[in-house]
Every structure is written in C-alpha cells, then in structure tokens.
Structure 1
Amino acid sequence: MEMKVEIVAREIIKPSSPTPNQFRIYKHCSRDQFSPHHYTPVVFFYVNPTSDVNHEEMVSIRSQRLKETLSETLTRFYPLAGRLRDNLFIDCNDEDVEYLEARVTDCRLSDILEQPKAEEMYRLFEPDPEDFNNNPLLFVQLDFFPCGGMALCVRMSHKIANGVAYAAFVKAWSDIALGSSETCPRFHCCLVSLPTERGLPGVVNDIHADDQEECHKKVCDQRIASCYPPGQSDQHGRAATYPRGGCHCGTLEMRRAVNIRTRLEPPLPKYSFGNITGLLWAMIEDCGAETDLPGLVCQLRKGVQQSTDNNFTVEKTKLLRLKGDAVKVYRHSSWCRFGLHELDFWWGKPTYTTAVLFGAPIGIGLLDTRDGDGIEVWMTLLKEDMALFESDPELLAFALPNPSALEN
C-alpha cells in the first residue's frame, strides 16, 4: 500500500516571552542574502520500544512537551518567530512558527527505515510555501505511526541559518526539554565582517527533479580512511576517474559550504546565528577529460582563504548567476559532527536522523552514522551518472549501498 500522511492538527507557537523592541530588526548579513529560498528539513525518527502503552496518550504527552519547550526556545532564538522582509532583514515581531501533527497510515515506521529513500522522506512533511515573505521561518511537524513510532521533522528557512546554526537551535531545544540551558545563541555579530548588500535578490533553488535520479544512500566505514598509505595520491586520483560517456560535457563546478566562524577576524562565537558560511569552488573546464581527485582538493584548499573575503564571494556568486546553465554545479555539504544523533527531547535519542535536503540538488550530502563509526552519504545525480557511480568497483569495496537505517 502507499503511505498516507494526514494533517490532524495545525497550531501556531509563539515565544514564551515577548521580544524587546530594541531587538525587533534582525539584519541579514550578505551570506544570508545569497542563501537560497528553501527550508532545511531534518527528520528525527523514534521507534516505539514497547507495545504496553497507550500510543495516543503517549503521542499527546510528547507533543505537548514539544510545544511548551519550543515556545521557551523561541524566546532565545527570537528571529525564528518573525518574518522575512525584502531579503534585507527579519522583522522579529513574534508572529509565530507553525506546529503540525499528522497521522501516518498504510505504512510502518520500520518500512521507511529498512531502506530509507528521499522521496518517502519528503512525504513526511508539507511542501515549502511559495510566499517566503509572509510565512513562518520555522515549521515543526510530528508524524505518528500506528505502531507508536514517531517522526519529528524540523524545517528551518535557509535565509536565516545554515547547518551550524540549525544544529545550535535544535540542541538548545533539546537542552530546554531536559531542563538545561547551556546553548546561548549570538545574533548580529557577523554584520561587521559580512555586511548587508543593498539590491541583492534572493536565490531561488535551481532544482529540476525531472532529469535527476533518486537519492541513494551509501555508508562507508573507517577502512576508507586507511586504505591508501600516505603519499599514494595517484591511487586516490584513479578512484575519482571513470569513463565519461554519459556525462554532459562542458564546465563542471564543485561547490562546498564551509563554516567560517573561526576563520574571520576577529573570530565569531561558536553559536553565532546566521549563514556564516564560505563557499569553496573547484572548476573543471572540460568534463570529457579525466580529472584526478588531488587536483580538485588543491583547488578547494586554495579557496579557503578566499571564502572569508566577502567581496570575492559576492562577485563570484554574481558571475555564476550570469553563466547560468553553462555551468553544471555539484554541491557538497557536510552535516558531520553536529551531534544530531545525540539530541534527546525528553524520551530518548532518535533511532535514526537524516537531513532530507540531500535529496534535492545535484551533489553530495554527508552525515555521521548513528554509531559514529562511519559516514552516511546521500548522492543525487543524473541517471546516467548515477549508473556509473553505483557500478564503480572501488566504491563498492568500501561502501554499502542503500543499507538499513535500523542496523547502524
């Protein structure tokens, strides 16, 4: 049967205390302005360990706890309860965030976790709104399954936060749910290093799902880090090349986001809020020729210093927009070491956690495995490229394609 998700409750959640007037305007830094108009969804899955409880009562108690602690957390992360204004600032008017409850039928939680697929994950929450200026910056949806299992989806606008800031928010929420208050965000501190740029339009995602293959998960264990002795970069290079018969030739670009909080002068606090991210670029002008991995890595390393240069990033982004479809972009994003598997909202750590954005643009997404011994890799590629990738013998020697989320 096909999984059905029915919204059964929709509420608004406001901060537990009003935001002072002096904090009403939260200005975007330039990196916020260049961030795409989409919501970053992370889903936390909880398998019900026992059948000796009333499932509906359990869900009701947990949901109420989530709503109460979310309200407290919004008092600290007050911009999230506001509204975007013309890609320049957030009006911190305490309007609300949206909290939904949904009932999942014709599907068990174990069916999803046995072999996670991006298209199934996307059905666990509502689509992004089209009007970004008049909708909440944060959506929370609690899905409950007949077996008593739950999926908690937390979606935050990328216009206000990157992965580091997202992780700070959910960690603070978890702390408050457990009666602690260790995580304290810092706002406005990035505007000196990354000032607001007038007249910059927001970026709209260039996602074209029709010509993409579905996401495939790969889990690599630690052997991959030790399989090549130091200095044998030529073997690394061979592992990164293969016949390009199916590739769309032209200019390819690998783009990686990197946290630059500690690289700025002066360095910014750990929990500085916003898109304080540098973009590293590596270009391949002729994708019909073989390019070794060390060459790509060298290009990325050269971009580390440039990533903190605000003028460079602004001009580079403008140039890429002008090139448009002439450049095929492969994005690389890592959510490793964010501690998402460790979050406890009062009833224990999640059985499985995944950042669902990895199923959208062409590229690579990385996340720690739950046991900490491996890396979960989500790939989204064109169909012909995916076929080449999945059949690579060296990859298959160290990675397990599409494994069960119940086993790592």
Structure 2
Amino acid sequence: MEMKVEIVAREIIKPSSPTPNQFRIYKLCSRDQFSPHHYIPVVFFYVNSTCDVNHEEMVSIRSHRLKETLSETLTRFYPLAGRLRDNLFIDCNDEGVDYLEARVTDCRLSDILEQPKVEEMYRLFEPDPEDFNNNPLLFVQLNLFPCGGMALSVRMSHKIADGVAYAAFVKAWSDIALGSSETIVPDFIAASSRFPPREDCPVLSMTFMQMTKKNVTKRFVINASQVATLKAKATSTGVQQPTRVEAVTAALLKCAVTASRSYALRLETSVSSPKAYALTGAVNMRTRLEPPLPEYSFGNLTGLLWAMIEDDGAETNLPGLVCQLRKGLQQSTDNNFIAEKTKLLRLEGDAVKVYRHSSWCRFGLYELDFGWGKPTYTTGVLFGNPIGIGLMDTRDGDGIEVWMTLLKEDMALFESDQELLAFASPNPSALEN
C-alpha cells in the first residue's frame, strides 16, 4: 500500500523576542547571491521507544516543545524568520517560519527505514515554493506515524546558508530544547564583511531540481571496516593519510567513471563519449581562509573542490584520484583557480561529464535530541539533483551513507559493478547501521 501524507495543521512560528531595529537588515554575502534558489532538506526519524499507548498526548507534548524551542532558536537565528529582498538582503521582519504537522497513513515508520527510498523521503515535506521572495526561509514539518514514531523534516533556504550553517542551526535548536547552557551563537556579520554583496548581481532562478526523469538516485552504505580498507588502499606517498571522505569519494568516482565509459562503448560510434570527467563540490572555507572566519559564521562560505580525470584512464587508480582530490581541496579557496575551472566547464560543455559532490559527514546530525532521544535515522534528500555523490555519516559515526545520482543507463552498470559491491552494500536497513 502506498504511503499517504496529509497536512493536518499549519502555523507560523515567530521569534520569541522581537528582532531589534539595528539588526533589521541582514546583508547577503556575494557567495549567497550566487547560491541556488532551493531548500536544503534533511529528515530526522525518531522511533517511538515508549510503551505509552496514548500516542496523541505524547505527540502533542513533543510538538509543543518543538514549536516553543523553535521560537526561542529563531531569536538567535533571526534572519531565518525574515524574507529575501531582491537577492541583496534579508528583511529581518520576524514574519516567521512555516511549521506543519502531517499524518502518515498506510505505512509504518519501520517500513520506510527497512529500505529507505528517496521518493518516499520526498513525500515527507512539501515542494519548494516558486516565489522565493515572499515565502519563509525555513520550513519545518513534523510527520506523525500511527505507531507514535515521527519524521521531522527541516528545510532551510540555500540562498542564505550552506551545510555548516544548517547544522549549526539544528544543533542550537536541539541544545535549547535540552536546556543546555552552551548554545551556539552565530555570527551574522563576518560573511558579508569578507565577501561584500554586489549591487549589480542578477536575481538568479537557478535550482538543482532538473533532469529528474533522466536521473536515478540510489542509496549505498559503506561500513566502518570497509571505509578503513579503502583508506589503506588509497594511501600513497602523495597522500599518506587520506581521510575517509577522500577515500570513499575516490572509490565511488572511479566506479562511476567506469560505468560511464562502459556505456559509451556500447553506443553507436556516431555518439561521442565525454573527453574528460570532473568532480566538483563545496568545501567549508571558514577555517581555510587567512585570517579564518568564526566557526559559526552564517552564510554560504564555501570554496570549490575540483578533480579532473582525462579519458585516457591514467588517473583512475584509487591513490591517484585521492591525490587529485587533495590537490583540489588545497586550491579550493583560490579565486583564480575557481575562475579558471568555471571557465573551462563553460567552454568544454558536454565534452566534460561533471559529477557534483556533497559531504555532510561530521556535521553531528545524529546528535539532534529534543528530549526524547537521538534520531534512529537521518538523511538528506537529494531527489532530482544533478548527477553526483552525496555523503552522510551512518548512525555509529564511522561508516558512510551514500546517495548516488547517475543517469539511468550509467546506474544500471554502476550498481552491478563487482568492485563497488566489494565495499558498498546496496540500500541495507537503516534500523541496523
């Protein structure tokens, strides 16, 4: 039976204290201005571990706590309660954020977690709004299951926040809900001071929700043991201590390129295959800049990760790819390097097949406790994204969950690659890892 989700309540949550007039205008930084108009969606699943059969009362208490503490958190993160104005600034007018409650029927929480599918996750929040200037910058939806389990989706506008800023907000919300005295204090000045907004910046309508019908997104999990094995295989004199993200990314990219090349060989000779492959992604540059920015600087403060594979097969060994990634990481804040690679992509067009990369590892998203325990499962929802690699921690913090998006024809070859299956498990139960 297909899962049904019905919105049963909707309200606006405003900051618990009004934003002072001197903070009414929050300037976007130049990197915000060029960020896409879409929302960063993460869903947090909480299994009901109580024996209380009165789910309605329990859910009512928990929902009230979420709304009350969300209001308190918005006082600290006041730009999120405002509205975007002309791709230049946020009017911090305390209009608030959307808070929705939904009832899920014909499905148990355990049914979703047994084999998570991106299409089902996508039903746990509403589609992105079309009018970005007049809609909230944050949407929260509490999905309630008949068993008393809950799925909390939190979507934040990418126009004003990257993954680090997102993680800071949800951590602060959780800290406030637990009554912690060590709550995050965000910095709303550093980003626009270092990267002032451009008055002539065009109002972009770019989103990542494109090519959905041609793309397929599938989940894989790499456990801690296999991550360690990949790190050992990726070690070289060039990179003697690869990180787990570097090793896993390189291994996945290697398999993706192999699948693409294999499919190209099956095509008629009149259809040309890519001349090269590139991996691009965002890198947190708060600590990489000189001088560094505060840890909790709010905004899109990312550099460009870049790795290139020419189509002669020379760089597709694991250590070589890791060296490419490490070099790209070191150059990620070099504006000249970024401009050069961006220009290259424009000139080469379809001759270069580009994979997007996003890592949310070590963001602490499994620590989100509002008073009834940490989430059983947490995942970002990458449905419809461009082809690429999305990484998140597993619940134990040592493994890596992968959401891989490829063209349909490439995915068929990728998911049957024995080299991939030697280290990655296709969509195992989220109740176990």
- TM-score, scaled to structure 1: 0.77
8 A Cα contact 1:358 1:378, kept in partner: no
Query: Does the aligned pair in 1 maintain the 2:28–2:87 contact within 8 Å?
Result: yes
1:261-310 deviation per Cα after TM superposition (whole angstroms, max 9, x unaligned): 11111111111111111111123353888733444333333333432234
Deviations 1:160-191 (A, max 9, x none): 1111111100000000001114239999xxxx
Give, in angstroms, the shift of residue 339 of structure 1: 0.9
CA contact (8 A) 2:14 2:95 kept: yes
Task: Look up the match of 1:31.
Answer: 31
Rounded Cα–Cα distance in structure 2 between residues aligned with 1:314 and 1:403 = 40
Q: Is the 8 A contact 1:34 1:202 kept in 2?
A: no
Helix, strand or coil: the match of 1:171? helix
Matched, 1:198 2:277: yes
CA distance in 2, matches of 1:193, 1:37: 33
Q: 1:359 to 1:341 in 2, by over 3 A?
A: farther
**Structure 1 residues 380-389 or 291-300, which shifts more?**
291-300
Which range is displaced more, 17-26 or 300-309? 300-309
1:331/1:361 contact within 8 Å kept: yes
CA contact (8 A) 1:193 1:265 kept: no
Indicate how the Cα distance of structure 1 residues 333 and 58 shifts in structure 2: closer, same or farther if over 3 A, else same. same
Q: How far did 1:136 drift?
A: 0.6
8 Å Cα contact 2:65-2:177 kept in structure 1:
yes
Alignment of 1:9-408 (within 5 A): 9-183=9-183, 260-286=285-311, 291-310=316-335, 312-313=337-338, 316-317=341-342, 320=345, 325=350, 327-357=352-382, 360-408=385-433
Contact 1:194 1:310 in 2 (8 A): no
Contact 2:282 2:303 in 1 (8 A): no
Rounded to whole Å, the distance in 1 between the matches of 2:92 and 2:150 is 31
* Cα 1:371/1:392, change in 2 over 3 Å: same
Find the aligned partners of 1:402 and 1:308 in 2 and give their Cα distance: 35
Contact 1:34–1:200 (8 Å) recurs in 2: no
CA contact (8 A) 1:43 1:356 kept: yes
| 1:21-54 deviations in Å (ceiling 9; x for gaps) | 2212212222212221110111110111234331
Contact 1:109 1:150 in 2 (8 A): yes
CA contact (8 A) 1:358 1:365 kept: no
Tell me by how many angstroms 1:325 deviates: 5.0
Summarize the Cα distance change of 1:28–1:312 in structure 2 as closer, same or farther, 3 Å threshold. farther
Distance change (3 Å), C-alpha of 1:196 and 1:269: farther
Q: Does the 8 Å CA contact 2:141/2:152 hold for their aligned counterparts?
A: yes
| TM-score w.r.t. length of structure 2 | 0.73
| 1:91-141 Cα shifts (integer Å, max 9, x gaps) | 211111100000011111111000000010001110001111111110000
| Contact in 1 for aligned 2:4/2:104 (Cα 8 Å) | yes
Q: Percent identity?
A: 90
Q: Cα 1:266–1:391, aligned 2, differ >3 Å: closer, same or farther? A: same
The answer to whether the 8 A contact 2:355-2:389 is kept is yes
Secondary structure of 1:112's aligned partner: helix
Shift of 1:61: 0.8
Is this contact kept in 1: 2:277–2:311, CA < 8 A? Answer: no
* Structure 1 stretches lacking a partner, 5+ long: 206-259
Deviations 1:216-237 (CA, angstroms, capped at 9, x unpaired): xxxxxxxxxxxxxxxxxxxxxx
Quote how far apart the aligned CAs of 1:14 are.
0.7
For 1:382 and 1:54, the matched residues in 2 are separated by: 46
Structure 1 counterpart SS, 2:382:
helix
Q: For structure 1, which segment, 32-41 or 132-141, has the greater mean C-alpha deviation from structure 2 after superposition?
A: 32-41
The CA distance in 1 between the partners of 2:80 and 2:273, in whole Å, is 20
Q: Residues 16 and 74 of structure 1 are in contact (CA less than 8 Å); yes or no, is this contact kept in structure 2?
A: yes
Single out whichever of 383-392 and 68-77 deviates more from structure 2. 383-392
Confirm or deny: 8 A CA contact 2:279 2:357 kept in the other structure.
no
Supply the distance in 2 between the matched residues of 1:357 and 1:38 (Cα, whole angstroms).
Answer: 12
SS at match of 2:414: helix
Structure 2 vs 1, CA of residues 317 and 87 (structure 1 numbering), >3 Å: closer, same or farther? farther
Question: For each residue in 1:320-377, what CA deviation from the matched residue of structure 2 results, as whole angstroms up to 9, or x when unmatched?
Answer: 4576555432111111111111110111111111111366331111111112231111
Judge conservation of contact 2:5–2:124 (CA < 8 Å) in 1: yes
Stretch of structure 1 that moved more, 285-294 or 335-344: 285-294
Task: Tell me the SS of whatever aligns to 1:198.
Answer: strand
Task: Answer yes or no: is the 8 Å Cα contact 2:15–2:78 preserved in 1.
Answer: yes
- 2:274, 2:353 within 8 Å by CA — same for their partners in 1? no
Asked if the contact 1:3/1:104 (under 8 Å) is kept, the reply is yes
Please identify, of 87-96 and 132-141, the stretch whose mean Cα deviation from structure 2 is larger.
87-96
Residues 291 and 403 of structure 1: is their aligned pair in 2 closer, same or farther, counting only changes over 3 Å?
same
For the residues of structure 1 that align with 2:275 and 2:31, how far apart are their CA atoms?
8
How many Å separate the matches in 1 of 2:410 and 2:274?
A: 39
Q: CA deviation at 1:200?
A: 24
1:309 to 1:375, Cα distance in 2 relative to 1, 3 A:
same
Contact 2:280–2:305 under 8 Å retained in 1 = no
Deviation at 1:82, TM superposition (A): 1.0
- 3-state DSSP class of the match of 2:11? strand
Give the 3 Å change call, closer, same or farther, for CA 182–319 of structure 1 in structure 2. Answer: farther
* Contact 2:282 2:302 (8 Å CA) reproduced: no
